[in-house]
Amino acid sequence: MVISPKVRGFICTTAHPDGCREHVRRQIGYVKQKGAFESPKKVLVVGCSSGFGLATRIAAAFGGGAATLGVMFEKPASEKRTATAGYYNTAAFEAEAAEAGLYAKTINGDAFSPAVKEEAIRLIKEDLGQVDMVVYSLAAPRRTMPDGTVYTSVLKTVGEPFTNKNLDLRTGEITQVTIPPAAPEEVEATVKVMGGEDWMDWMTALSAAGVLAKGAVTVAYSYIGPSLTYPIYYQGSIGMAKNHLFKTSQEITKQFADDGIKAYISVNKALVTQSSAAIPIVPLYISILYKVMKEKGLHEGCIEQMDRLFREKLSGSPVVDEEGRIRLDDYELREDVQAAVMEAWDNISSENIAQYTDLEGYWEDFYRIFGFKFDNVDYTRDIPLV
Ligand code: NAI
């Protein structure tokens, strides 16, 4: 089958295996060209197949020489459908790792489930003995509990509705959107899915099984952003979950202090990923941000961010802010960057969108997540799906 992109709203329902491989290779190339760094050597990445998790895995393996065990929730190809991008990314990563003589195995299943945690523990025991780093990079829409209860996360405000400009990804026009407040149960469900409870469950299970090395480090990812997006992000339902994630980092450090385990939140930059494209208002903010940061030579993608995490923030004693958080959003939140973004935000309309946004860059990143728009990939190739 000749695979082309099929975009529906903010997702693409097809993915290209050659393009995904190229995406992974370019990220590996970036890290290798910057040279090796000191990092943990046995790394578990929960949410390893796309976005920040995949970039972390690539950086740990190809910059730090780490053996990596990944956990993902992806679909293989069927006779009619391509696999998901994360599936192809992971196949490509494993092939590249094997070629480089690096251990890489991946569990495809629900990270929230006890069965997947047990499988990870089994593999660590068998192959690695212990892990010295756990990366928690899940972005999930829902969580199924062992008793069958399903919690679904929502992207809503807390308290008041919030109206602001929005980029309609289908028409490319600037519209107004009103985001309704979440009901208390919805906030609670979002915290269940995207908060720290499952991160703590992972750490507890790994520790109880004796597969966490003394002095191991664990990192989960968060976002703060500018005050403009506070109502929908930082102070919204997802922000409540991220706040819980932050508190969990402090609890993990306290609970496993005897083993010298340290948990960190890394506050990352806003980037186009499968998850962020789904958040109202954020795609418009991102496309303005891209333009400003590219003009200032400050733009980074997932791999640049995760490379910097290891190289600058985690080598030696971690570089943290006054609350103990790693800040990879330092460039994004720089005063001059935000001043330029706010000016654009105030002036933007459907008529002048090209002047104020890097829509092309937004869409390029979007398509590349699914393996499209690489100039050196032959998209006319007939590819057997299974
Ligand atoms: P993504 O959608 O690219 O990746 C999510 C990963 O989670 C994939 O590997 C997927 O397979 C895995 N996953 C989802 N549900 C799963 C399940 N039930 N079991 C096992 N694996 C599962 O997301 P992205 O954007 O890289 O997000 C990762 C983290 O980074 C999230 O915590 C997100 O909030 C955070 N973050 C994202 C930012 C952004 O702008 N995209 C900015 C700052 C933080």
pLDDT of residue 358: 96
Question: Of 67-76, 261-270, 277-286, which gets the smallest average pLDDT?
Answer: 277-286
- Spell out the domains of the chain, with CATH numbers in brackets: 7-146+188-279+300-334 (3.40.50.720)
**CA separation for the pair 318, 316 (Å, rounded):** 6
Confidence of residue 343 (pLDDT cuts 50, 70, 90): very high
* Mean pLDDT calculated for residue range 81-93: 98
Check pocket membership of 64 for ligand 1, CB cut-off 6 A. no
Going by C-alpha positions, the residue among 118, 128, 111, 136 that lies closest to residue 67 is 128
Residue 305 to residue 300: CA distance in whole angstroms = 6
Specify the DSSP class assigned to residue 233: T
Q: Is the CB of 83 under 6 A from ligand 1?
A: no
Q: Give 143's contacts (C-beta < 8 A, 6+ positions apart).
A: 112, 150, 151, 192, 193, 198
3-state class of 104 per DSSP?
A: strand
Residue 251's pLDDT is 98
According to the model, what pLDDT value does residue 51 have? 95
Average pLDDT of the segment spanning 183-210? 98
Q: Is 71 in the pocket of ligand 1 (CB under 6 A)?
A: yes
pLDDT digits (tens, 9 = 90+) for 245-255: 999 999 999 99
Nearest CA to ligand 1 atom 6: 47
Has residue 323 got a pLDDT over 90?
Answer: yes
pLDDT (tens digit per residue) in 93-136: 999 999 999 999 999 999 999 999 999 999 999 999 999 999 99
Of the residues 30, 87, 151, 233, which is catalytic? 233
233 is catalytic: yes
- Test site for ligand 1: of 46, 52, 271, most ligand atoms within 8 A of the Cβ: 52
What helix, strand, coil percent values describe the chain, rounded to 5?
45, 15, 40
* Percent of the chain residues past pLDDT 90, beyond the cut: 94
Instruction: Check residue 138 and give its pLDDT.
Output: 96
Tell me what pLDDT residue 96 has: 98
> CA-to-CA distance for 297 and 299, rounded, in angstroms?
6
In whole angstroms, give the CA distance from residue 207 to residue 225: 33
pLDDT at residue number 273: 85
Q: What is the DSSP letter of 231?
A: T
What is the per-residue pLDDT for 274?
A: 79
Q: What average pLDDT does the segment 78-86 reach?
A: 96
- b/e for 44-82, b at 16 or more Cβ within 10 A? bbbbbbbbbbbbbbbbbbbbbebbbbbbbbbeebeeeeb
List, for residues 15-64, the tens digit of each pLDDT value. 999 999 999 999 999 999 999 999 999 999 999 999 999 999 999 999 99
At residue 200, the pLDDT reads: 98
162 pLDDT band, cuts 50/70/90, is very high
User: Predicted confidence band at 9 (pLDDT cuts at 50, 70, 90)?
Assistant: confident
Tokens standing for 315?
């080598």
pLDDT score recorded for residue 279: 85
Distances (CA, A) of 8 to 19, 109, 175, 277: 19, 25, 18, 12
Query: What is residue 171's predicted lDDT score, i.e. its pLDDT?
Result: 86
Surface-to-core class of residue 113, CB atoms within 10 Å of its CB (0-12 exposed, 13-18 middle, 19+ buried):
middle
Q: Is 49 near ligand 1, meaning CB less than 6 Å away?
A: yes
* pLDDT tens digits, 229-240: 999 999 999 999
Question: Is any atom of ligand 1 closer than 6 Å to the C-beta of 341?
Answer: no
Buried b (16+ CB within 10 A) or exposed e, 121-151: bebbeeebeebbbbbbbbbbeebeeeeeeeb
Q: Which residues contact 224 (CB under 8 A, 6 or more apart)?
A: 233, 234, 267, 329, 333
Averaged pLDDT score across all residues of the chain: 96
Average pLDDT for 373-384: 97
Query: Is the pLDDT assigned to residue 170 strictly greater than 90?
Result: no
How much is the average pLDDT of 354-382? Answer: 96
pLDDT of residue 275: 81
pLDDT level of residue 311 (50, 70, 90 thresholds): very high
Q: Are 219 and 326 in contact (CB under 8 A)?
A: yes
Whether the predicted pLDDT of 10 surpasses 90 = no
> pLDDT at position 379, please?
98
pLDDT at 277: 82
User: What would the mean pLDDT of 210-229 be, rounded to a whole number?
Assistant: 97
Q: Is the pLDDT of residue 167 over 80?
A: yes
Joined together, the tokens standing for residue 375 give 């100039």
Distance separating alpha carbons of residues 264 and 216, to the nearest angstrom? 11
pTM to 2 decimal places: 0.97
| Beta strand 262-267 pairing with 326-327 | parallel
For the segment 141-148, the average pLDDT, to the nearest whole number, is: 97
For residue 364, what pLDDT is reported?
95
Atom of ligand 1 nearest to the CA of 111: 19
Q: Please state, in angstroms and rounded to a whole number, the distance separating the CA atoms of residues 332 and 300.
A: 10
